[in-house]
Amino acid sequence: MAAEGRLARIATDGHYADSFEADAENEVYDEAKERLVRQMLQEIGENPEREGLRRTPLRVAKAMDFLTSGYELSAEEIIKKAVFDEDVKEMVIVRDIEFYSMCEHHMLPFFGHAHVGYLPNGKVVGLSKVARVVDVFARRLQVQERLTNQVADALMEHLGAHGVAVVMEASHTCMMMRGVQKQSSTTVSSAMRGTFEEDPRTRSEFMSFLHK
């Protein structure tokens, strides 16, 4: 359908959707998803027909398609479209990549920054593609530990680097809004591959750049 195709293109191009509102008064974006959202609203005691909620099922359906668009994307395709031969031996680091994901246990958001480094092996990848690879895996139902490893494995496999390092720092709303309700807590996870795993000096150099 037209709306679905448009959002898919927006997600694939790495941009945020301009609007998740209805394009027309009677627009149906995804009948099955919208029906489920309506049922959920009723289950929690709301009236899905009241003015403020009438188009909420459509908005949620569009938003969920965007937030889980990573299932339709390929890290391999993203990387291999932007790999260039370069005689570069020094470490390449992209810091402070914003990411937003959803905890698979509660379907609540977690968000933060990813720091990615790699040691080229005769090839470099476009810097924006590193951020795109993070989004490929972040826009799925996730746990932070798996997300960190998936980014590292994808870059290691498809870039052919000597080594890859990924550190992610995130705040989890499932801890902030419910449960222990610790609003200031952050979770840090790391994944080291190749030289970063084998050589403490290389790993230490990478970590030193994250605190400058």
Q: Of these residues, 115, 158, 162, 172, which one is catalytic?
A: 172
Active site residue 113: no
- Per annotation, catalytic residue among 106, 113, 197, 205: 106
105 is catalytic: yes
**Catalytic one among 115, 142, 144, 162?**
144
Residue with tokens 């870039």: 159
Cα(190)–Cα(49) distance, integer angstroms: 46
One of 105, 145, 183, 198 is an active-site residue; which one?
Answer: 105
103 is catalytic: yes
Half-sphere exposure (CA, 13 Å, Cβ side) for 136? 22
Under 8 Å between Cβ of 104 and 63: no
Is 106 annotated in the active site? Answer: yes
Within a 13 Å sphere around the CA of 149, how many CA atoms are in the beta-carbon half? 5
Look up 211 and say whether it is catalytic: no
**Is position 25 annotated as part of the catalytic site?**
no
Give the single-character DSSP code of 105: T
Measured CA to CA, the distance from residue 34 to residue 42 in angstroms comes to 13
144 tagged catalytic: yes
From the list 72, 77, 98, 104, the catalytic residue is 104
Exposed, middle or buried by CB within 10 Å (0-12, 13-18, 19+), for 135? buried
Single-letter amino acid, residue 27? E
Options 103, 142, 150, 162, the catalytic residue? 103
Structural element, H or E, at residue 193: strand 187-194
**Active site residue: 169, 174, 197, 205, which one?**
174
Q: Whose structure tokens read 């099922």?
A: 57
- CA–CA separation, 143 and 123 (whole Å): 30
User: Which residues are catalytic, by number?
Assistant: 103-106, 144, 172, 174
